Structure 1
Amino acid sequence: MAPLARIRLAGTIAATAMCVAAATEAAAQSAPQDGTIVLNEQLQLGDVFSHQTINVVNATGQVTVNTSAQGNQASGAVQNDSIVVQSDQDMRGDAIARSDVTLGGDTGGPVNVVTQAGGNYLAASAYDSELGIEATQSNTGDIVSATSQIGTASARLLSGGSVAASAISNTTAVYGEGSVISGSIDQSNDAVVRSYSRIDSQYIPAEASVTAQTIANAIAVNSGQTSGQNLELNQNSTADFIEAESSANTGNGWNLAARARANANQAVLYNEGGSVVMGSNQSNSSYVRSAATTTAYDYGRVEAHASGAANTLSVGNNDIFVEIDNTQFNEGGVDVTSTFVGTNGYDIYVGAEAVGNQVTGYACSECAGYMDARNSQTNSGDVSARANTTVNGSSRAVITGANAVGNAATFYVSRSGN
């Protein structure tokens, strides 16, 4: 047996591993026995802070702002080989990103502002390979925070734009093509995670959106073209609260939207061309809050939509076999609120969705799929969804909805034509 190549990475902010080796066919859905081993150890003790302050008056072109703060980051890829990624990321400081953009007079071009804050981030990709992953992510810092504040009460955004804030404590993203992905991912978060996005303006005669996204623990696994997955996932959030808030405000807006989404634990798996075997354990005691607010005196189309969840799991396979062993426990409250206040206009859309535990599993859209699912969900936290709409003058259409669910489970196998 050929000796294994070992690469050890250690750092406080970021590390990247790239491994490309000779061709080896990935034939079995099990952990690779030979090939490259990547050992990644990262410890961030201090705070990571990024802040931009911008003042713009009568800009004729676009205004684009990107601000980010990340604690630990690692990425790696393999092609035509086998690799085992052993990663341990520990975030103990704060990660704070903030964008303050003051707009005066007319802004001719679109306004695009993106602010991102993260604790631990791991990405791994495999192409015609076997990928084994053993990942641990822990955040015991005080806060992960992203803030975007744009405009003034007299700002005129003639071409509209988008304003976004995203805060994620732990992220693991895995991608594969013609590959087998196996192993385990463990995430734990004790830090407050918060995103806040806001726009103030006098006039927006174009489409404009304000979004806020907050996740304590996030896992995404996407593989296709004759791939397979065999994974164990563990996510735990014990922070005081997880919060996302967006606010879109104008005197006259043609197409204005505020959207917010907050999740304590989130895992999304998708696969094509092989089997999916996975076990998942999600536990949350954090208070989850999501709020979206839109205000406009005169308006064309306006939207306020917020969603919040303690634990969510989605497992999909566009092939025959899916096995899911899922356990979800939530004792934290979930509070979701969407609000619109306006005077005269046309169409209003206000929605709020809140859930304690949610799991979705599906197999094979075009063949005779098979699913083996075991599911246990326990929710003891309060779950609330509220949609508030106030029209002080007249409007053409008002469409609102609020939906709150303690435990939700959906499993299905679809046939062609169904």
Structure 2
Amino acid sequence: MILAIATCGAAATEATAQDRSLVLNNQLQLGDVIAGQTLNVEGADDQITVSNAATGNTVSGAVVGGAVEFRNVQHLNANVRATTTPAPGGGEIGGVVNANTQATGNYASAAGYDADVVIDSDQRVGPYEIEAATSITGGTARLLSGGYVNASASANVMALGGQNTHVAGAVHQLNEASVRASNLAETQYIPAQAVFSSTAIANAAGSNGAGASSADLYVGQRSTGDVVVADTSANAGNAWDLSGTAAATANQAVIANAGGSVVARTQQENFSQVSSTAVVTSYDYGVARAAAQGSGNAVSVGNDDRYLQLDNSQISTGGVEVRATFAGTNGYDAYVSAEAVGNTVTGYACADCQATMNITNSQINEGAVSATANMTINNGGRAAIIGTNAVGNAANFYVSRPNGGN
């Protein structure tokens, strides 16, 4: 059985009676895509859930017990914006606030179950803006049960994988847009856990194989937009457990496999400025956390079986700047961390399986990489832990047991 669903300005799906079914998808989006939500829910006792998404082109397909070739072309030449205001007038909310805001240029997914999947994908975003933003302003909101608020922006996304499935082919992603995710919270009182996060990724490709799966993939990613920015500012007068996180990455490729072999070739080029900032403030606090991460190029390829082959090439020139800050007056525990890397690659295989790894790796970083962490506590506290890590090129290759032991 084959299922394919496409949404965009133009799409086509075709199946043949040959040994391998064929799905053809061609999408072009030229007009801006904008989604906005504003909730005025003061006094609500139960949970508040907000899901807000804007997407230029999207397609998904799956095959069960057969074989499919998926040829995908998605081009976006327009702006994509999603904005959410969960509590515009402040006031008191009794239930948990769950808000997710997502802006995506091109999205594609293909999955197999006891099947073979062949992929040939080309995703491109022109020199426009991909932006996701969420905001709670005014400084008077009282979130009595806390909340989990996220803003994420991506130019190109490809998701592959399945169960007992072989995935093979090529994924090409080009981004020329600026990608921005921002999350602003100005609150008065949060007597529960609250997490505010932002994630910005220009190009993201992933493959996850479960069971007796295998992969033979090429992933090529290039980002030339001006900036890739994640910005979180979480603020409260009194917060019991407050976290603000931000993560920005130009190119990201993740391949994880549970069985069979993995053969992967990854090529990443980043010319965009990457910036990640997390700011947390609370006059009175129990636990406060500010964590920011940023990377130009990131690759992770792993196999919990016997064979892994990886040929990795990364070039980053745009620079990476990461900042994390906490400021408070009276409280207990505060944690601040900032991590920045120009290029990073990780490869791993199964130790109990007597695995073989063949690795070829080339990394060139020409941009500045900086990680800065600041903490200000006026009246002292119980714990104050701060850490920074800035690396131009990082490579880690190892064998481990499937349960996580070495």
* TM > 0.5: yes
Supply the AA of the counterpart residue of 2:125: N
Q: Is the 8 A contact 1:306 1:338 kept in 2?
A: yes
Distance 1:387 1:9, change over 3 A: closer
Distance 1:57 1:273, change over 3 A: closer
Report how many aligned residue pairs link the two structures. Answer: 403
1:13 is displaced (CA, Å) by 4.7
CA RMSD of aligned residues (A): 2.2
Name the residue aligned to 1:74: 59
Name the residue aligned to 1:324: 310
Larger mean CA deviation between 365-374 and 291-300 belongs to: 365-374
Pairing partner for 1:379 from 365, 372, 397: 365
Distance 1:315 1:114, change over 3 A: same
Supply the AA of the counterpart residue of 2:75: D
Percent identity, aligned pairs only, is 47
Name the residue aligned to 1:401: 387
Name the residue aligned to 1:235: 221
TM-score for the superposition, normalised by structure 1: 0.92
TM-score for the superposition, normalised by structure 2: 0.95
Distance 1:353 1:19, change over 3 A: farther
Name the residue aligned to 1:273: 259
Name the residue aligned to 2:350: 364
Distance 1:13 1:353, change over 3 A: farther
Name the residue aligned to 1:210: 196
Name the residue aligned to 1:313: 299
1:199 is displaced (CA, Å) by 1.1
Distance 1:7 1:391, change over 3 A: closer
Name the residue aligned to 1:340: 326
1:54 is displaced (CA, Å) by 2.4
Supply the AA of the counterpart residue of 2:21: T
- Say if 2:69 is the partner of 1:84: yes
1:56 is displaced (CA, Å) by 2.9
Supply the AA of the counterpart residue of 2:375: T
Name the residue aligned to 2:95: 109
1:62 is displaced (CA, Å) by 2.3
Q: Is the 8 A contact 1:260 1:305 kept in 2?
A: yes
Pairing partner for 2:186 from 153, 178, 200: 200
Pairing partner for 1:411 from 360, 385, 397: 397
Larger mean CA deviation between 406-415 and 111-120 belongs to: 406-415
Distance 1:386 1:7, change over 3 A: closer
Supply the AA of the counterpart residue of 1:122: A
Name the residue aligned to 2:36: 51
Task: Give deviations 1:249-271, integer Å, cap 9, x for gaps.
Answer: 00000000000000000000001
Task: Give deviations 1:194-231, integer Å, cap 9, x for gaps.
Answer: 00011111110000010000000001100021111001
| Distance in structure 1 (CA, Å) of the matches to 2:242 and 2:305 | 40
Distance 1:304 1:16, change over 3 A: farther
Q: Is the 8 A contact 2:14 2:22 kept in 1?
A: no
Name the residue aligned to 2:375: 389
Q: Is the 8 A contact 1:6 1:38 kept in 2?
A: no
Name the residue aligned to 2:272: 286
| Distance in structure 2 (CA, Å) of the matches to 1:288 and 1:164 | 19
Larger mean CA deviation between 101-110 and 308-317 belongs to: 101-110
Pairing partner for 1:98 from 47, 63, 83: 83
Task: Give deviations 1:288-347, integer Å, cap 9, x for gaps.
Answer: 000000000000000000000000000000000000000000001100000001001000
Q: Is the 8 A contact 2:12 2:25 kept in 1?
A: no
Pairing partner for 1:12 from 1, 8, 14: 8
Distance 1:224 1:8, change over 3 A: closer
- Equivalent position SS for 2:139: coil
| Distance in structure 1 (CA, Å) of the matches to 2:229 and 2:4 | 36
| Distance in structure 2 (CA, Å) of the matches to 1:341 and 1:9 | 48
Task: Give deviations 1:99-145, integer Å, cap 9, x for gaps.
Answer: 12314332111111111000000000001111100001000041000
Supply the AA of the counterpart residue of 2:8: T
Q: Is the 8 A contact 1:351 1:401 kept in 2?
A: yes
Distance 1:198 1:10, change over 3 A: closer
Q: Is the 8 A contact 1:7 1:38 kept in 2?
A: no
1:6 is displaced (CA, Å) by 12
Supply the AA of the counterpart residue of 1:222: N
- Equivalent position SS for 1:368: coil
Supply the AA of the counterpart residue of 2:84: S
Supply the AA of the counterpart residue of 1:390: T
List runs of 5+ in structure 1 lacking aligned partners. Answer: 22-32
Q: Is the 8 A contact 2:269 2:315 kept in 1?
A: yes
| Distance in structure 2 (CA, Å) of the matches to 1:274 and 1:353 | 34
Distance 1:263 1:79, change over 3 A: same
Q: Is the 8 A contact 2:322 2:338 kept in 1?
A: yes
Q: Is the 8 A contact 2:90 2:141 kept in 1?
A: yes
Q: Is the 8 A contact 1:6 1:37 kept in 2?
A: no
